[in-house]
Structure 1
């Protein structure tokens, strides 16, 4: 490919085949969806074991309720952040949601929500494909505009 051509950004597990949805694209989407489902199941099992461990300790109903609420909020937050990341890109994340160090603990606790969002997105398209496709098509259109000859009448005069 010549240096002046627009190159698409690769997506994990898909490379650059997402552009024309080339060979193996659909098979990879099925594999990614299956892997995300299996990982979400394993994460659910681990979270259940962790929550059950706290419930067995009989710390009290307040601690039990706070734990369940914390896990639910972290799961929903991780799912929303992951979906937004794949749908609109990192630039759409604002405030504390944009800082990976800040949301790290939330993503660990809410890993099931993150994996479910990844699973649902992979059923629609390769995760991150929509946002990257928009950027790629804009770059291709800009490249095409730069390559078009100047309108009839020659070059424009500078003022």
Structure 2
């Protein structure tokens, strides 16, 4: 590659994919990476706590409406199951690329179980940037393949022995 002036580009090869809230600081953990990770952890935990308060207000609304214990239990079970599914789906999404068709079909469940997604984001941000492991594996593979392709040959290829 070359720039506008025709000089070779210094950063030839694959570029790291940015991660939300982190950009490309996850590659070498610079640019305020630890502070960003702490901020993401605190923010996702605060959002999960705020979400639980919203769910509590919804529960109190059902209690005030006096709709019966069956519907109340049904709502609690629904939010618990959806949160567990959202947690698992979000957690698995950090290790491998999710299938877009499956994501589209689960969109409603994942929306209802938003607390589970927030908790998965919080727990992952305690150890790394959410999705860092997946992005690092993909980036290292791309770098390795690029280096393999651009490796220079040694010797004269015309003197190479040919097998009949």
**The TM-score by the shorter chain falls in which range?**
0.7 to 0.9
State TM-score, norm by structure 1: 0.86
Quick one: distance in 1 between partners of 2:103 and 2:129? Answer: 24
Matching residue of 1:112? 115
Matching residue of 1:58? 66
Matching residue of 2:5? none
Shift of 1:34: 0.7
Q: Are 2:144 and 1:141 aligned?
A: yes
Number of residues of Structure 1 aligned to a counterpart in Structure 2: 154
Shift of 1:99: 2.9
Matching residue of 2:133? 130
Runs of 4+ in 1 over 6 A off after TM superposition: none
Matching residue of 1:99? 103
State TM-score, norm by structure 2: 0.83
RMSD: 2.3
Bigger Rg, which one: 2
Match of 1:42, SS?
helix
Q: Are 2:46 and 1:38 aligned?
A: yes
Which segments of 5 or more consecutive residues in structure 1 lack a partner in the other structure?
Answer: none
Quick one: distance in 2 between partners of 1:12 and 1:69? Answer: 32
Q: Is the 8 A contact 1:89 1:128 kept in 2?
A: no
Return the structure number with greater helix share. Answer: 1
